[in-house]
Each structure stands twice: as C-alpha cells, then as structure tokens.
Structure 1
Amino acid sequence: MHPQPPRRTTHAYGTPRNLLVYDRWGRFGRPVVLLHGLRYDRTMWWPLAAELGDGVSAVAVDLPGHGQSAARDDCGAGDLAHDLAMLVNSLDLRRAPILIAHAESARLAETFAERYVTHRVITVGCGDPESLDDVPELYRQFAVPRQNPDLLDGYREWLAEPLPRSTHLGAEHFPHLRDPAGFAALLLTMR
C-alpha cells in the first residue's frame, strides 16, 4: 500500500510584494476558487473544500493582508482580479472557474468575471453577521473575524460602494459552515 498525498496542500504565488497564499484540494475537475470576506482568511473554506471531493479542484486564497498573504497599501479589485487570474492560470486548471465569494469579496469576484472567463460567480453571506447558533460548534472557529482595523485601509474601494448582486446562495451568513456537506452537494450540481 502506497501512502496517499495530503488532501489539502498549501502554496504561495507571486513576489514578496504581491504574495498570495492559497490552499488547494484536488487537481482535476471544475475549478472552484474560494474567496473569503474582509477580516477572515482562507481557513473559513476548509470544511466546505473537504466535502467537495475529487470532482473539483478547489483553491482557497488568502486576500492581501489576511492569513499569510502579504499586506498591500492598495487592494483595488482590478489589480487583485489580475493577480488572481495569474494565479489561476499558473495552476493549469484548463476550465473556467466557479468563484465563490463571501461578503465583500463579491466585488473581487464580479471584477474577475468581467475581465476573465468564468463559469459562474456565487456569493454567500452578503449581509450582517448573524448569531452563530446554527453553525455547528466544530465549525464556529472558522466564522470568527480577525480584529485588525488597519487592514481595511487598503480596501477603501471595496467599502465605498454597495456589493454587486450575483448568484446568491443561502439567506444565512455562513451557509457553507452551517451545512458544509449540503452546500457542497448544491455546488456539485452547478459544475
């Protein structure tokens, strides 16, 4: 019996000035790019990505200044969409990705979709955070925002306008954490 490679692997893309750290699950199938909202990081997607299985290639990216990605003075959606496109291209995924955006990252997902081939944009949690009572205890750790007021300075552009309205799934703030298996099953019907 041969040892199996880890299901989730962590990688970095870019230079020290525009470094993006990301986790990846799977290497084949429809690419699914997971974008967290402001003050969160890529770990918020771990329960969902683990449920997606081998039929997709899931990529959860830390936005600049979040998690392990380098901070930037200006995080304009256009520049980040370009960096995200270069990252996706470097993965040699060969199919247009589904972008799943949490809260404010809907702006980045929509900008990406305007400029690059995209299979679908899905947004979740585009409202005020609700009580986490419906999120299983095991997953609540992934729904806690980091408190760093300086972080939002680079995202002024994102906060100045209302969020775009793309395909919105779930009335709850964290549908992917409330029921990761159910949310994954729904996504798999969209590929």
Structure 2
Amino acid sequence: MAQCLGKIKVVQIWTMEEIIDLFKKIKDKTLIIHNLVLIIIDSLPCLLLQHFGDDNKIGLNYLNILVNHCRFICKNFNVGIVCVNIQTRWVQQDLADYEEEDDHLRETYVEKQTRGSGKYWQHIPALVFQMEKIMNTVDIESDKNNFPVKLTLIRTNKINLGQKCILNVGSSGVR
C-alpha cells in the first residue's frame, strides 16, 4: 500500500487560473510527471462557481480552455482525467399535482437533480458515472468496516445506458 501511495501526487489548486496553468504546463511539457496515467480533479464546481452568474462569461472561457487542455492531454499523453462533479438534489412540493384520495388531499413532491458544473458538461465527457451511498443496507451484505455504494453508468457519448452495480467500499478497498 505504501508503494501505491508513494506514486500519488497531490496538488492543491484554489483558482481556475491555477488549474489551467497546471494543465498548460503538462501540455507544453514544461512540467513533466513521470508515469502519469490519471488526473483526478476534485472538485471542479468549487473552482467554477465563483465565475458564473450575471452574464459573466469568464467562467465559460476558463471552462473552454480547461476542456481543450484536457482533450489534448488525454489524446496525446494517453492520460485519463476524472472530474468530480457535485450533484445537488432539490425536493419541491408539486403544487399543481394534488391528488384527491378519500376526501383528503395528498401532496406530492418532486426531486430534481442538478450537476454542479451545469449543462456545459452534457457534451464533454465520454463517460458519466453517478455514485451514491446506499443508506438502507438491509438487503445488502455489509459490516461496520464497509459501506455499499451504488454506481450508475448514466451515459457514454450521448447514449443513455442506466447500467448499475453495487460496490462495497472499505478499508481493504473496493469489492
């Protein structure tokens, strides 16, 4: 395990300018990271949200530059890039959809899920995975050292798949 951890390089990025500069250096080979196979950006929306809103086009410009650098690095250096995207859930009372049941009105609620980086990403990644911790573990084998996670492949290159599997994540890894 120590050998695996020794191969991981962590870079703390606080602004979009810093992440673009890092990717530009990798692209231009002014920063060489030997045996680079995977870059994980956790979490891109945190960097982007400060630039969106009020017709501010700076964030979109940064996003375009970053995506172009990512494409170049993936294609020319055979490096995988994972962008962690926060998904928010909004539960709203659906006022237009009351149902009459035995002279009682039953309220309905609608859950809306939104990706933190917005609609821009609908055309960018090749694979979109959604990970969700399973809270009700009655039907799933688990113990106090592991917790089940539902992994759903939502789409790949504009094809909606909806394939799902359950992973048990714990101190010994993923099984």
Tell me the TM-score range normalised by the shorter chain: 0.3 to 0.5
Instruction: Select the structure that is richer in strand.
Output: 2
Question: TM-score if structure 1 supplies the norm length?
Answer: 0.35
Larger Rg: 2
TM-score of the superposition, structure 2-length normalised? 0.37
Counting helix residues as a fraction of each chain, which structure ranks higher? 1
Higher relative contact order (CA 8 A, sep 6+): 1
